[in-house]
Structure 1
Amino acid sequence: MIRRVKVTDYPRLMEIWESSVLNTHDFLKKEDFFYYKENIPIYFEHVQLWGYEEQGVLMGFMGLAEDSLEMLFIHAEARGRGIGKVLVAFGRQKFGITKVDVNEQNEQAIGFYEHLGFGVVGRSQEDGSGKPYPVLHMALK
């Protein structure tokens, strides 16, 4: 079930975020991991958050802003079960999502978004925080 995320869900979102990042972002320096972990709750305030719930437990979530998918994280225990695909489809249908930015070193995510019909339309040398992690700008083809 997809539902709107509440502030009381933030501790679970952080568990999902940490589990997901530790399993997909092996390119992050340790200090940058902790920087993002400290700052991600601030980002929550700037996006519309939707979560995917199974048996009363959030297993993944996404953050949307206008026509962009700003974040998508799936708990490591739930990866490969189609939750990300369901969330992206929901975002496309209900909110007209057409864009996403992806860390260039996150090859799994790039392949995931390409499979869903996104293609690279640009590249930035640094991420949105000014860290040296190149970002690919992707849009629906």
Structure 2
Amino acid sequence: MVTSQEIFGTVKKCVALYGAVSAVVLGTVAVMASTGHGTTAFMWIRGGILLAAAPLIHRMVTRAAEGSAQAFDRVRTLSTIMPIAVIGVDLVPGLCPPWYAVLQGLSALALVAVAVLTRGSALRAVFPES
């Protein structure tokens, strides 16, 4: 049987993957801008905000693994809402280039995995009222 701490370890890895892909997105925007390709303020700001969210979510997962029901509830909520918001915005025609939308979508997939893992029976048993 998989323990809750093992699941939280996997959740932390998923959040780290989300952060890594977010860093790649922002790095790609920087390279595109430095080589004269078109970038927008939207791409910079959104890339920066999504990257900045990664360590915050990771900290919440750490606190949840230590027993914080409030942190656990926040992780569950963010991991559900953020992928929907990221993909929803990416679907707005003309807002961002396709390569940007694909990379942002990949980062959202890591959060989808977090949403699935935090809704499993092992973690529901640890946080029954959440």
TM-score, scaled relative to structure 2: 0.29
| Structure with the higher strand share, 1 or 2 | 1
RCO greater where, 1 or 2, for CA within 8 Å and sep 6 or more? 2
| Structure with the higher helix share, 1 or 2 | 2
TM-score, scaled relative to structure 1: 0.28
